[in-house]
Structure 1
């Protein structure tokens, strides 16, 4: 009893050291527990992957060749470490023939995918920037490369589509997410998804710019600017996003004025106006080799829809502008969100905090198939965000491309 009393007096006398020691012990125990749970997860995942690696394949069939596009500097240079620690062992144990190509600069993933040959699947190991570049490189190709599947290993600091396909978090949840992404690739679960084509509108006499492609969103305005500055307030830890609204909600450097005009066409299931008929491919030696008869499919180029070619026009002025792909009553389309025009400082901070809690402001959505965005005199430093990547604000034509990219995904998350 005397010993317990003595310990209590010592702790009370040296309370600062006692609190520091308790914190160190707590975080040490939490770290050990996290490592133990991760080891259990990886052991179970490796056992599952080995089952696929031990399966027999035909003698004339080589192991499946997959190419990993790895951004080694993604997520503050943690992407390469996490890939080698959690992802690569599972892919190799499953019997896949893995070729890793590391990106060397911004835009390099686009160039790699455009020139890639001889692979059966592409795996993007990085964040939204690496994925956006890879999608653009893939859809710029003139061959049938977009027919083979694309895998996502969400290893970046922002992973919009990766988180939608494989919900995750930090610590153990992050490892679970990576394991799910790897097992989707190993098991071969795929689903076609829509993409967005963004074509810069050229003036007369200018050479047309090549299009870029996106998967998740196009954002412009104050809320986007605030979100991009959150990492400057890292000192506030998990509250840095809230702090970003507090310290930036009154600044003129935020894009409070998004103004311009829109020309958009309505949704259409496919008709002679919006479906391009594929040219008939003539085979050599058709006189000697009879063609295989196939059942005729419905030809949408013969369908007439007068409303499809009608362009609606709209002028807007707002502090928030956003476009994202949506499936609207079974039809692939684009949702145009035009937010509130003006906010007071208090209203803006309150609305931002509400959004951080998952309570978004209800905004009417305009549904469209194609959009021409014509901004009105944006400031020189104003940027528009396409899949979390910054671009100069300029006139563009935006088109939905239905079911154009095949992704590996979990069976229950097919969308």
Structure 2
């Protein structure tokens, strides 16, 4: 009997080793194939970058200086390695003079951009947080720095805005995304994008704080809180987002009560009340100089729209609140105020959360506006809102849409200018 048990144990151990060996062989082969595909992609991209550099930049002219704002700790400290491996060589081969400035702490990108001089373009190598800080520093300046393009290299863990310009993925698809982002900078295709100006509303004796600027969204509520906890469930691998909803749907620590008052003005195509004309700045590089009618600002500062300044007000209570740039059907730029349901059962919350992960969530109610004053009720505990994936304390704020305020490098198939 003992011999039979030992024989069975030996067979089981050998079977385990065989399975492990097959799995290791499969993933090893997959890795070799992935590396080969990446090498082919990079070789073709390098040739294309050299071709653009030779054809667009005269030998007698000094190389164009571009400044890269690199967040070295983005994506678990992988951002710097990926930038040096997949992005920096292409920029150099295209004949650009690349100056890399690494951020040292949270908020450092704003300071770097506010004091930046002598550059012809800024390239953000990081995620949504680094991009938001860079845009904030850019738009806080009193000069016309926002007239030259901003490049995005989506190297962070969250790249919602970067993914909207350059669809990405993992592995080979991620490298394709970075190559497309670099080639957009080299080729010089640009597009104007809207931004949100977010100003804290000061109390009577309080000194006003400087505004911050966002490109994607302001979020508040239980769904935002749950997604912020997903990294706690790292042990579930790619299922961490699903696990976050599963294990947090019953917790009182989530923000189930988002309530307060909203004052808003309606969307406006532009009038003397909301548009301030800015001069176009010409740069030496070909894509810094507007060449089409779309790049020329229409003089609408003399137009009048009486409804633009009419304010409406309502009270709200929900567990899911979001404001983001929004396009109405007639393409009129606006802010979209999205209010979810007032309450969810545990099952409903988990089901809705999983559907959102799959991009199948229910359509929220949307109120369109040009400006929004958000006056929240005083929370009983510490509550955070999320602006472009960065957390801030909940306070009264005024949010203003700035249409077509920042110029970004983009793929040529977009509506470029």
Q: Distance in 2 between matches of 1:149 and 1:379?
A: 43
User: What CA deviation, in whole Å up to 9, does each residue of 1:9-62 have, x standing for no partner?
Assistant: x97772111111111111111111111111111111111111122236446532
Structure 2 match to 1:75: 75
1:348-359 equivalences under 5 Å are: 348-359=349-360
Q: Please report how far the alpha carbon of residue 234 of structure 1 lies from its aligned counterpart in structure 2 after TM superposition.
A: 1.0
- Which is worse superposed, 98-107 or 54-63? 54-63
Structure 2 match to 1:240: 240
- Return closer, same or farther for 1:297/1:407 CA change in 2, 3 Å cut-off: closer
Structure 2 match to 1:129: 129
- Which is worse superposed, 268-277 or 329-338? 268-277
Q: Please report how far the alpha carbon of residue 81 of structure 1 lies from its aligned counterpart in structure 2 after TM superposition.
A: 0.3
Q: Please report how far the alpha carbon of residue 164 of structure 1 lies from its aligned counterpart in structure 2 after TM superposition.
A: 0.6
2:112 corresponds to 1:109:
no
Q: Distance in 1 between matches of 2:245 and 2:361?
A: 15
Q: Distance in 2 between matches of 1:44 and 1:61?
A: 26
Q: Distance in 2 between matches of 1:371 and 1:297?
A: 25
For structure 1, the 5+ residue unaligned runs are 1-9, 280-295
Q: Please report how far the alpha carbon of residue 238 of structure 1 lies from its aligned counterpart in structure 2 after TM superposition.
A: 1.2
Q: Please report how far the alpha carbon of residue 177 of structure 1 lies from its aligned counterpart in structure 2 after TM superposition.
A: 0.3
Q: Distance in 2 between matches of 1:414 and 1:210?
A: 33
User: What CA deviation, in whole Å up to 9, does each residue of 1:135-178 have, x standing for no partner?
Assistant: 00000000010011100000001111111100000000000000
- SS state at 2:220 partner: strand
Structure 2 match to 1:312: 312
- SS state at 2:55 partner: coil
- 1:193–1:407 contact (8 Å) kept in structure 2: yes
Q: Distance in 2 between matches of 1:147 and 1:60?
A: 26
1:13-412 equivalences under 5 Å are: 14-55=14-55, 57-58=57-58, 61-276=61-276, 299-328=299-328, 329-412=330-413
- SS state at 2:301 partner: helix
**Which one has the largest radius of gyration?**
1
Superposition TM-score, scaled by structure 2 size: 0.90
Q: Distance in 2 between matches of 1:297 and 1:102?
A: 35
- 1:11–1:18 contact (8 Å) kept in structure 2: no
- SS state at 1:322 partner: strand
Q: Distance in 2 between matches of 1:385 and 1:58?
A: 46
- SS state at 2:315 partner: strand
- Return closer, same or farther for 1:143/1:277 CA change in 2, 3 Å cut-off: closer
Paired residues in the alignment total 390
Q: Please report how far the alpha carbon of residue 381 of structure 1 lies from its aligned counterpart in structure 2 after TM superposition.
A: 1.9
Q: Please report how far the alpha carbon of residue 99 of structure 1 lies from its aligned counterpart in structure 2 after TM superposition.
A: 0.4
Structure 2 match to 1:7: none
Structure 1 match to 2:291: none
Q: Please report how far the alpha carbon of residue 326 of structure 1 lies from its aligned counterpart in structure 2 after TM superposition.
A: 1.3
Q: Please report how far the alpha carbon of residue 297 of structure 1 lies from its aligned counterpart in structure 2 after TM superposition.
A: 8.5
- SS state at 2:392 partner: strand
Q: Distance in 1 between matches of 2:175 and 2:59?
A: 35
Structure 1 match to 2:290: none
Q: Distance in 1 between matches of 2:278 and 2:159?
A: 35
Q: Distance in 1 between matches of 2:57 and 2:234?
A: 50
Q: Distance in 1 between matches of 2:398 and 2:309?
A: 15
Q: Distance in 1 between matches of 2:54 and 2:32?
A: 33
- 2:57–2:95 contact (8 Å) kept in structure 1: no
